[in-house]
Structure 1
Amino acid sequence: MKLDKKDQQLLNALQDNARTSVSELAQSVSLSDTPCLRRIKKLESANVISGYHAAINPKAVDLNVSVYAFVRLNQNSVAAAEQFEQQVEKLEHVLECSVISGSYDYLLKIIAADLESYESFVKHKLGSIDCIANIESTVVLKQAFTKRHLPLA
């Protein structure tokens, strides 16, 4: 989908505050309510807008440790990749799963209450997935910043 300037302005406004009313959005991009709502629905239908959510502070809900885990599968096959991805998607502490290049196959972003919880997660959940050959973890000492606002032209 080709985005025009109004679409980009709408997306930027929604990234700043997804709870902004249609009237406020329309006013901010110099449209009336109906055409603005039509554009939003079109962006949703085209999956440019994939959803709306609340950003929750992990520490406020006792999730104090972030870990990046590099995972190597025991075989480089479609079946092993599909099995791994299906099983990892079910693990609620895994926030992101990315296929990567290099000596590892996947990079996982995992959140836990503390290091003991993470160790238990690796031993009892992640480590129990049969197709994993190796897991290497890197603990985040401090999150300097997180950007959620995509740079739209």
Structure 2
Amino acid sequence: MFDRYDRRILEEIQNNARITNQELADKIGLSPSPCLRRVRALEESGIIRDHVTRLEPAALGLKLMAFIHISMDRHTPERFANFEKHVNEYPEVVECHLITGQSADYMLKVMVPDMDYYQEFLLNKITPLEGVTGAHSSFILRSPITRTQLPLNHLEKTKKK
């Protein structure tokens, strides 16, 4: 499925989504045309979803990050779909995960300017949602590791089996 060129393409564009096709081709050892064909094939297959730019939250005034564990009253597809639809409308929610192994059903990652904003957000947007029975917050003190790159070291090992 993947060869060393595909893996190198994925590694390089995860590190720099703005890399030109010529630069990418030079780095991985292909000529530009086959390199571009491979990138397009990876995009068409859905492996490459987006090309994004990461912003610095603190520089934009987003100085408070929290995880909110949400408990729901019922575990039905309709209840979950309604909750997910609503939280998707809130730009403060940067991640939403349906989870297991905890007393909560969802874990939200939110970014807001400060504690006052957080309180308003929690009390006026999250807890009033239909089905929400509990919300427990954990605040991020610092983030020594934050990556957007996915680990790819298993790709070639899987291929060899």
By the TM > 0.5 criterion, same fold?
yes
Q: Match for residue 34 of structure 1?
A: 33
Q: Match for residue 20 of structure 2?
A: 21
- Unmatched segments (≥5 aa) in structure 1: none
1:133 partner SS: strand
Q: Match for residue 76 of structure 1?
A: 75
* TM-aligned CA deviation for residue 145 of structure 1: 2.2
* TM-aligned CA deviation for residue 127 of structure 1: 1.6
Q: Does 1:145 align with 2:148?
A: no
% of aligned pairs identical? 30
- Unmatched segments (≥5 aa) in structure 2: 154-161
Aligned residue pairs total 152
* TM-aligned CA deviation for residue 150 of structure 1: 1.4
Q: Match for residue 100 of structure 1?
A: 99
Instruction: Give the ranges of 4+ consecutive aligned residues of structure 1 lying more than 2 Å apart after TM superposition.
Output: none
Q: Find the aligned partners of 2:33 and 2:95 in 1 and give their Cα distance.
A: 36
* TM-aligned CA deviation for residue 74 of structure 1: 1.0
Q: Match for residue 114 of structure 1?
A: 114
Counterpart code for 2:26: Q
Q: Find the aligned partners of 2:84 and 2:50 in 1 and give their Cα distance.
A: 22
Indicate if the aligned counterparts of 2:127 and 2:133 stay in contact, CA closer than 8 A.
Answer: no
TM-score w.r.t. length of structure 2? 0.92
TM-score w.r.t. length of structure 1? 0.96
Q: Find the aligned partners of 1:147 and 1:92 in 2 and give their Cα distance.
A: 20
